Structures are given as structure tokens and as C-alpha cells.
Amino acid sequence: MTVETSNLKIKNWDAIKNPLYPAEGAGNQTFRFYNLLGVILGVPLFLIIFYRLSLWVYPFLLLPLGLIIFAGYFLRSSKYDSPFNNKVQLPGKRLEEYISIKDSSLAAYSGRNKIPMEIFFESYFDGKIDLCGDALEIFEARHDWASFEFTMGQLKYFLTQWIPETLVHSKKQDEDQVRDHYDRGDDFYAAFLGPRMIYTSGIISDNNKRETLEEIQDNKLKLVCERMRMKAGERHLDIGCGWGTLVAYAAKNYGVNSTGITLGRNQTEFGNNRIKEYGVNEQQARIVCMDYRDIPKRPRYHKITCLEMAEHVGVKLFTTFLEQVRDMLEDDGLFFLQIAGLRRTWQYEDFIWGLFMAKYIFPGADASCPLGWVIDKLEVSGFEIYSVDTIGVHYSGTIWRWYQNWLKNKDTITEKYGKRWYR
């Protein structure tokens, strides 16, 4: 049985790489929160009663036991829970048809015995596993050969690095993460981002047309400026401007006085050079290397944009950040926020990839939250929501084009930077 014969309707666009096996995994549909809460609260109480301890011991038992129970519950549930409503019939191939294992310590994973995704990618980075074909095609069928269960490696990373970093989000931490990551070399990013050097989702204008990466990124630049109703002479602030392409584009094509903020030194230099390349003088546009918390509050801005940077602000500081943005806006100003977040109907797979992204792709981006959470924070901070778009399919199309670029430049970049890069 194929997707076409499994009563599942899938997209068939020329604009994207259409999924062959859009399988659903276990997640919140089968997760029993109140069962977990009952165990976390009940076990310490049982121990107090059983050993006849004083009740004042309860809070001291609750935290360590609660963490152990929480971790154990997720480890068990992610391994044994079944998908809630999966209509996709997978190929049913042997694991060896997808990956080639070269290390004897991984010999247990063979045939139909799936390998946990975290063990797979760490082993792949270490050269213990090879892919038997195109990476994208193999990952389209990932549910056929990999399991999305939490491992001790991910649990260790979650407890010892992700949680501490989420709770801190100091200026020093954010600066170290950004510079250690985004200052590795512009050539690394140009290898897949292409000449626009935009590290956010593009916008597909026609589902039946295969636009280039440059075309969909130009679509996005135009959409942002049009949605923001940018006018000549207005003050525009782009927080987390990356390599400065939106700043240069807005200043050149809409006449705004545009300022971009980034912590990346390389991005700052690149962006200011890009502004010159666009024929815009430094009195009209500039990129400043600065923490967003240090942006001068006055004069206010008519338009503020923030494209996929707010995730790095973190859950802890998210509301404070939005209140800062609102204070920097003119009374009739507009704020454009583009954010990449997890879906509310989460699956264990989402958390597996979330931790992978935090470790290797977007360090410190713990505010990658569901849409409802983001909207709630915006409204609590005093914003009136004008419009909302979900652009997940557009992001899929963007990443597909990044992947095609990467394949063209893979050998050159891996020769210089290696297969594994980890801060």
C-alpha cells in the first residue's frame, strides 16, 4: 500500500518537495498529564507515610524525585506509546535498506529493529553510520527505520545544558552562543543560503511554480515591507537582522531609515557591505553589533521587524522583550514578528528534533513555542493582533532549496569545517 492508496490526501505542489510518508507519531494525544502529576506528587507523600517522616521533608523529596519520575515517564512513553491517528502505510523495509552501520556497538539495530533517532545522528556524525542513498529521501521514510524515543544522551543534555541555559539567558551567554555559531564563517552559510544570505523562511507565490530560492526570498522581503506599509522617511528597526538583507532592501526600495541589530561580528561587517552594494548610504541604513537589550529606546520607530530571532530571547525574557518592542514603537507603529515554533498537538518527535536544533542548529532558541502561546504573550504585552499567517509549507519549500544548495557545495564545506560542529 502506498500513500496514494491509503485514503490519505497529501499535497501535490510543484513548489515543494511533496512528502511521501507524512506519518504521525505518538505525542500529546496519548500523553496522560494528570497520571504523571499524580505520580510526581504521590510518590514523595507515600514515602513520607511509609517511613513515618515529617511533612516538612515533602518539598525536599518532591524536586529530586519529581525530576526522576518526569524523566522516566517520558523515556517510557516515548518508547512504548502508539501513534494516535496515523493513516500512513510505511514501506516496511529493513533498516539496512536505509542506513549502513559500520560499528559493532550498534549491531542490535538491524532488520525491523529501529534505531533511536538521537543514537543515529550522533553515530552518523562520528562516522559509525552511512546513508544508503539520498538523505532527504531516507528521512522522508524515517518512521520506517527510526524510533523517536528519548535516550540517556538527550536526557543528559536536557538536564545539564538546555535547562540551565533556558533559565539564564544572560547577555554573555547569548553573545557566546551567537558568535560561536554565526561567526564560524560566512562561506559556510552562503553554501546553502545562497546570495541573499537570508536564514529565515521564504514565501512561495505560486503552488504550481518551482521558484528559485532567490525568488521566494525576494517574495518574503516584499511581503514584509508591504505588510508593514513602509514609507519613505520612516524609522525602521530590524531586531536580529542576520546578514542585513532586509535592512538594505527596505532602505533601497521603500526609502525608510533602517537600522539592523545583530550580535554577530561577521554579520555586522557583511550587512554594512551589503548596504553599500545596494547603493544605500550609511546615513539611511546601518547594521549595529549590539544586544537587543541595549537598543536605545528613543527616538521611537515607526516599524519594527523581528524575523526568527525572538526564539533566541527565550521563554524567560519573552514578555519583557515584547514590552521593550512596544515601548520603542510609535503609537501608530507596526510590529512584524516571524517565529518558528512547535505545534500545540506535539509529538515526541518534535522534542527530539527540538533538542537536536538547540544543540547543533539554533542554540538558545527555547522560545520556539506554539502559536497560541506567542499570541497570548503579544496581547498581554499590549499588542493588537492585525493578522496571522502560518507558513510551515513555505518553510518546507525553503529548506528543500537550502538542501539542494548544500548538496552542490557539501564537499568543499565539509573539507573545511568537518562533519561535526558542536559548541
- CA 238 to chain CA centroid, nearest Å: 19
Per-residue confidence (pLDDT) for residue 71, from 0 to 100: 87
Per-residue confidence (pLDDT) for residue 1, from 0 to 100: 38
Angle (nearest 5°) at CA 133 between 127 and 136: 95
Distance of alpha carbon 77 from alpha carbon 90, whole angstroms:
22
Residue 165 phi, psi (nearest 5): -65, -35
Per-residue confidence (pLDDT) for residue 2, from 0 to 100: 46
Distance of alpha carbon 138 from alpha carbon 96, whole angstroms:
12
Burial, 59: exposed, middle or buried (Cβ in 10 Å; 0-12, 13-18, 19+)?
A: exposed
Q: Are 25 and 345 in contact (CB under 8 A)?
A: no
What are the pLDDT digits (tens) for 16-46?
999 889 888 999 988 888 999 999 999 999 9
Per-residue confidence (pLDDT) for residue 387, from 0 to 100: 96
**CA-closest candidate to residue 307, choices 375, 381, 400, 220:** 220
What are the pLDDT digits (tens) for 46-78?
999 999 999 999 999 999 999 899 889 989 999
Which region, left, alpha or beta, applies to residue 403 given φ > 0 means left and ψ of -120 to 50 means alpha?
Answer: alpha
Distance of alpha carbon 353 from alpha carbon 208, whole angstroms:
30
What would the DSSP string read from start to end of 393-421? HHHHHHHHHHHHHHHHHHHHHHHHH-S--
**CA-closest candidate to residue 151, choices 121, 187, 179:** 121
> What does each of the 423 residues of the chain score in pLDDT, given as a tens digit?
344 445 677 778 999 999 889 888 999 988 888 999 999 999 999 999 999 999 999 999 999 999 899 889 989 999 999 887 788 889 999 999 999 999 999 999 999 999 999 999 999 999 999 999 999 999 999 999 999 999 999 989 998 999 999 999 999 999 999 998 899 899 999 999 999 999 999 999 999 999 999 999 999 999 999 999 999 999 999 999 999 999 999 999 999 999 999 999 999 999 999 999 999 999 999 999 999 999 999 999 999 999 999 999 999 999 999 999 999 999 999 999 999 999 999 999 999 999 999 999 989 999 999 999 999 999 999 999 999 999 999 999 999 999 999 999 999 999 998 877 654
